[in-house]
Structure 1
Amino acid sequence: MTRRSRSRDSLLAGLGFSLLALDGVASAADMSLKAPAVRAVHNWTGFYLGGHVGYGGGSFGPDTNPLPLQGVFFPHSITGLIGGYQAGYNFQLPNNLVLGGEADVSFLSTLDRPRLAPAPFNTTFDYIATARGRVGYAFGTLLPYVTGGVAWARAHVDINDVDGSVLSTRGRTHLGWTAGAGVEYAADARWSAKLEYDYIDLGARAYGLADVPLPDVRVDPKIHTVKLGLNYKIWDGPDSATSSDYAIRPPTPPASKDWNVHAQTTFLPQGYPSFRSPYQGTNSLPGAGRVRETWTVGAFLGWRLWDGGEFYFGPELAQGFGIGGTLGLAGFSNGEAQKGGAEYPRFRAQRYFFRQTFGLGGEQEEVADAANQLPGKRDIDRVTVTVGRFAVGDIFDGNSYAKDPRVDFMNWAMWASAAYDFPADLPGFTRGAVVELNRKDWAVRAGLFQVPSAPNSDVLTFKTGGAVIEFEERHTVFDQPGKLRLGIFANRGNTGNYRNALAISAADPALDINNVMTDIRRQNLKYGFYVNAEQQVMKDVGLFARASWNDGRNEILSFTDIDRSVSAGLSVKGSYWGRPSDTFGLGGAINGLSSAHRDFLAAGGLGLLIGDGRLNYSNERILETYYAYAIDKNFTLTADYQFITNPAYNADRGPVHIFSGRFHGEF
């Protein structure tokens, strides 16, 4: 089986399971997640679906050189943090003995690169799965249990080149056994939470490396995992129903204002036919047609700690790559594509942050229940402090019509102020603090964040930082609401200067300009601004526009290779043709580079996403249109088309026609 087919098989299997899970809980979507409202006598009988997060560790055996995977809050290990899904069935006997079965699959964390030691090869997992029996005793809403069964996993050994890049991969499936114990608590008649420990012995297999040539390696995985799970009972069965229709209509206890859970899944295939490409370089979009896909599944958990104090946690699984390996376009075409893509789903704790709101009194406003937002009331005049890990775009550069590639425009230059090189790791998140003062007609917010240790690095550092200040003004024009946001930003990071690299390369043409750039990196400043406007012109019709600029002297650190950008567009809801939940969007963007940045690329330089080896410069121009069709209140299917001229600013290549689909579900 080829690497691509393995990737597609794993994606489709995971996607199918996630969609089944979402479909099972969609009927409860409007409940968000309900407060504890448990029947006096809880019955555990029924089918359930759920998800879990956790942490694991163990060993592959001696001399296997395991990859260190991120533990974030814990030490790195052979699994790091883990996340995945489970499905099962319980049957409660009259004596309160509960018998059941459960299957689950767990995906692993990403590489903890600073802990990676040079080695001729490395060993790691792609996924771990189990199928287990469960035996427990029900103490009302509390269910302690023991569990055991079979386990299997796909592991692989990567053969490394002298520079650390992977030359080839050997993959095997391991089969073994698992045993463990746990306790599950019923929060209400449908929802339950569990804490479980499992020991997994996957059996030894030999990996032949003679053709490299290296000695054969014996991989013998033994793993310990601790998982925190959340289950939703999708069907009770006749023995546990208290009335004839209970199994058909789920209960609707009062909504909680102290905690909530939301989730989303987005599958986004994208492709283009062949285009004019007389030459291409290391970071070029391939001239031959390509099709690739991305898939994400994420959860959003909120907990009110006290009045005004809230904690949020957002785990996410992500799989796949952007077309061309997420390279070759400055305004990249898929906002779900991560620079650190993966063939199999990888788990990250993308968000974990604390928010404290200090009310200043006066008029209040309702806060809707939503992802990263607990329902209730708050003072309109308030000060809010947010500290932790999140995306800069969660708070800054918002726009009602072009902000989220999961539901509206997909192109990076459409949903963001593209010349704002916002601090972020490879999937687009950072750690930092934000303070916001909100009034009825305006707000001002400021943030300080960690920046990557080098361009396109997945390692965030405290040594330097990025800062942004944004002013937001709210107004009405002919009784139609609108907003204007003005932001200024500055990042100090480990980057090289374009003009210095060009001068050194010109003095000694034998030098590779990209090696020169790496050698001259030091702490440099990048600064700029953005303007972001939105205006409703009539009911369900809105306009948006952005303009952004940075100084363009030093390397881009985090986002993409754009120094100047303007974008604008239109968004129309389908109420005008009897489809009020549908959305039509049309927009365009023009991206540009500073003169120093152009000369660097023309001399063979490589950026974060682009670099054809030479350059016939012209502004990159993007036209995007989409139609989002609401299947129901939880699921949306989108068709999207993008026309990109001068991809990566190169008039010798293109234009490119990119066609996309998008399936998005949320509850």
Structure 2
Amino acid sequence: MTCVHLFRIRIAAGAALGAAAFGTPAAAADLPLKSPAAKAVYSWTGFYVGAHVGYGDGTLGPGTNPILEQGVVFPPTITGGIGGFQVGYNKEFANRFVLGVEADATFTGPTDPVRRPLGPFNASIDYVGTVRGRAGYSFGTWMPYVTGGFAWGHSQVRVNDGGGNVISEPGQYQTGWTAGAGAEFALSGNWTAKLEYEYIDLSRRRLGLNDFGMPGVSIDPRIHLLKFGLNYQLGDSPWSATPTRTALPESSDWSVHAQTTLLGQGYPSFRAPYSGTNSLPGVGQAQQTWTTTAFLGVRLWEGGEFYFNPETAQGFGLNGTLGLAGFSNGEAQKAGAQYPKIRPQRYYFKQTFGFGGEQEDVPDGPNQIAGKRDIDRLTIVVGRFAVGDFFDGNSYAKDPRADFMNWAMWASAAYDFPADLPGYTRGAVVELNRKDWAVRAGVFQVPNAPNSDVLISNPNNGGAVVEFEGRYSIFDQPGKLRVGVFGNRGNTGNYRQALAIEDANPAFDINGVMAGIRKDNTKYGFYLNGEQQIVTDVGLFGRLSWNDGRNEILSFTDVDRSVSGGLSIKGSRWGRANDTIGIGGAVNGLSSAHRDYLAAGGLGLLIGDGALNYSPERIFETYYAYQVNKNLTLTADYQFITNPAYNADRGPVHIFSGRIHGEF
């Protein structure tokens, strides 16, 4: 199968991640039909693509020291929360029996850092795949079935040194069999949902560890999976030029969208007379990241909505997302993975209270259900989300999947917004919206330490932000200005205190000193964020942000002062109305205490050269986004970064990027 075919399949399959959000089989059965005839003619015959989420458990065999993966609301297990994709074909016969074949791949959750066992090695299962037959019986719009067939998986052993660092990761493929049962239900349009149990038994294989002075370990996977899936029925001839008619009436109370983004970056060698623990290597390198996200929403009642966004992420930022304060890839997570990992990135309730009067149309879109809403309204959001979903927005520089890629371009870089390693938190947001202005406020959980993946519920710690947004026009051209103030309280160390202790005891390691003095400290600051349309399809944007710079950065990146801005131009003037050119730049800076800490050998979240000849980090970025069609966009991007990580002794760095972004 070609890369293009794989890409197309993944775009379509990404929409189906997380079908658990679509409710129970009983709810599916109660969906209204336009006429009794619709139920009578429903057929399961045809191709389909989809995806699933769920939960798993099992064993890898005795003495394997398995790594436990996060289960979100469930206990961690060898698989934790799971998710993946499927594709298949069914044939329904005149006697209502249905036979089919399905292939799928299932990925495990991220490692639970709190429960990682200590030992000379740890075993894990990275993913499993199956090719199965399905046999079912149609009861019209629902079908119970049994399934079974061939299975395979990839297991891995992480060999640890005495300090808990991974020094090698040998892995192997294992084959076996699978069996299970489930039921599938027609929802609306061409969408169906399924609930499925699957048992996977892979053959025992022994992995030799003689090179590390240890006997081999036998990996013997026995895995139980419970899956909630969502499939899109393509019909019996998906290659036909004539669109397939929907099998059931479409529902106006659902929203299903998806995106997939493959982003590759690389740079040639640059001047680097010395390097430290977190330095960007002077020798050139290339890396890629790949994410696929489903945006699933359901209207619960008048003004009430629930959204669920499961996401698979694979790959690494340059140097494992280390070496630049204004990092070059907005898709790069601090917790990269060799194989796809599944996380429920967003799950939140949204309640809107309208005040009456003038209304506005709400188009169908990601995390947005089509309809109308009052312009004067109060909105409350509670759950898990990214702070940037509701704050610090900008029409021209906000989405690294569509516009600028550098962290200092799509966000106010000095705003240390609360987040876990992928960039999400749990909390609540309240927004009051009027025609010409809005004010919104939020409170959030913070991680339990800098660069931690563990969010804590502690009344003494947390983050808060208040933002005012004003809307106006200059010569009939619309513009917006956002002003935000923020404060975080978390487990961080103070730069001056760490320097004083290290000065009095030169033999101490300053990073060890900093870890030892962490306590509940506060960081506060502000940001200004503006956008202004100049003429149709041409806009300017700019941001200014600042924090007090006394204590460690907790969540985002090593920036205490930042200014950025640029120009966005749509391609209507050269006959490419949906293409975009972006040109912009940013300058990042540090407080004096933060500079001295890095110069003394301190390490930040992303940077630390072991020494520092301080100069502000300067970034230039330009891109061209070429829309192939409404679902696919290709982007070429160039970034020029001087004084990477604020160090005038190193750089400059030339970073070249290519991005493939698909959505529907």
Q: TM-score, structure 1 length as denominator? A: 0.94
Match of 1:22 in 2: 11
- Measured in 2, the distance between the counterparts of 1:359 and 1:591 equals 41
1:34-79 Cα distance to aligned partner (Å, 9 max, x none): 9976563111111111111111001112221111100002111110
Is 2:14–2:259's contact at 8 Å kept on the other side of the alignment?
A: no
Give yes or no for the alignment of 1:353 onto 2:348.
yes
- Measured in 2, the distance between the counterparts of 1:469 and 1:296 equals 30
Offset of residue 139 of structure 1: 1.0
Report the RMSD for the aligned CA atoms in angstroms: 2.0
Offset of residue 256 of structure 1: 3.1
Name which of 578, 581, 586 aligns with 2:583. Answer: 586
Name which of 272, 277, 282 aligns with 1:282. Answer: 277
Name which of 270, 276, 285 aligns with 2:265. Answer: 270
Name which of 318, 328, 331 aligns with 1:333. Answer: 328
Offset of residue 246 of structure 1: 9.2
**Aligned amino acid, residue 104 of structure 2:** D
Instruction: Return closer, same or farther for 1:365/1:254 CA change in 2, 3 Å cut-off.
Output: farther
Match of 2:98 in 1: 98
Match of 2:179 in 1: 179
**Aligned amino acid, residue 578 of structure 2:** S
Give yes or no for the alignment of 1:477 onto 2:474.
yes
- Measured in 2, the distance between the counterparts of 1:416 and 1:67 equals 35
Paired residues for 1:491-570 under 5 Å: 491-570=488-567
Is 1:237–1:247's contact at 8 Å kept on the other side of the alignment?
A: no
Match of 2:357 in 1: 362
**Aligned amino acid, residue 140 of structure 2:** G
- Measured in 1, the distance between the counterparts of 2:550 and 2:14 equals 51
Match of 1:427 in 2: 422
Where 1:114 maps in the other structure, the secondary structure is helix
Give yes or no for the alignment of 1:646 onto 2:635.
no
Instruction: Return closer, same or farther for 1:326/1:24 CA change in 2, 3 Å cut-off.
Output: closer
Is 1:315–1:347's contact at 8 Å kept on the other side of the alignment?
A: yes
Instruction: Return closer, same or farther for 1:333/1:179 CA change in 2, 3 Å cut-off.
Output: same
Offset of residue 249 of structure 1: 4.1
Offset of residue 20 of structure 1: 2.2
- Measured in 2, the distance between the counterparts of 1:189 and 1:617 equals 60
Q: TM-score, structure 2 length as denominator? A: 0.94
Give yes or no for the alignment of 1:88 onto 2:83.
no
Where 2:507 maps in the other structure, the secondary structure is coil
Paired residues for 1:125-204 under 5 Å: 125-188=125-188, 190-204=190-204
1:421-471 Cα distance to aligned partner (Å, 9 max, x none): 000000000000111111111111111100011000000011210010101
- Measured in 2, the distance between the counterparts of 1:559 and 1:75 equals 28
**Aligned amino acid, residue 99 of structure 2:** L
Offset of residue 165 of structure 1: 1.4
Give yes or no for the alignment of 1:457 onto 2:452.
yes
Is 2:12–2:50's contact at 8 Å kept on the other side of the alignment?
A: no
- Measured in 2, the distance between the counterparts of 1:165 and 1:465 equals 30
Where 1:187 maps in the other structure, the secondary structure is strand
Is 2:263–2:289's contact at 8 Å kept on the other side of the alignment?
A: yes
- Measured in 2, the distance between the counterparts of 1:113 and 1:25 equals 27
Where 1:421 maps in the other structure, the secondary structure is coil
Give yes or no for the alignment of 1:299 onto 2:314.
no
Q: How many residues align?
A: 645
Where 1:576 maps in the other structure, the secondary structure is helix
Match of 2:75 in 1: 75
Name which of 561, 574, 577 aligns with 1:577. Answer: 574
Moved more, 153-162 or 208-217: 208-217
Offset of residue 364 of structure 1: 1.1
**Aligned amino acid, residue 19 of structure 1:** R
Where 2:366 maps in the other structure, the secondary structure is coil
- Measured in 2, the distance between the counterparts of 1:288 and 1:404 equals 29
Match of 1:623 in 2: 620
Match of 2:118 in 1: 118
Where 1:75 maps in the other structure, the secondary structure is strand
- Measured in 2, the distance between the counterparts of 1:499 and 1:389 equals 35
Is 1:586–1:624's contact at 8 Å kept on the other side of the alignment?
A: yes
Is 2:188–2:249's contact at 8 Å kept on the other side of the alignment?
A: no
Give yes or no for the alignment of 1:407 onto 2:402.
yes
Is 1:25–1:234's contact at 8 Å kept on the other side of the alignment?
A: no
Instruction: Return closer, same or farther for 1:422/1:619 CA change in 2, 3 Å cut-off.
Output: same
Instruction: Give the gaps of 5 or more residues in structure 2.
Output: 16-21, 23-27
- Measured in 1, the distance between the counterparts of 2:245 and 2:267 equals 45
Is 1:21–1:50's contact at 8 Å kept on the other side of the alignment?
A: no
Is 2:317–2:329's contact at 8 Å kept on the other side of the alignment?
A: yes
Offset of residue 115 of structure 1: 1.7
- Measured in 2, the distance between the counterparts of 1:557 and 1:350 equals 20
Offset of residue 234 of structure 1: 2.5
**Aligned amino acid, residue 307 of structure 1:** E
% identical equivalent positions: 67
Moved more, 205-214 or 470-479: 205-214
Offset of residue 257 of structure 1: 2.7
- Measured in 2, the distance between the counterparts of 1:474 and 1:515 equals 48
Is 1:401–1:408's contact at 8 Å kept on the other side of the alignment?
A: yes
1:522-578 Cα distance to aligned partner (Å, 9 max, x none): 110000000000011111111100000000000000000000000010001111111
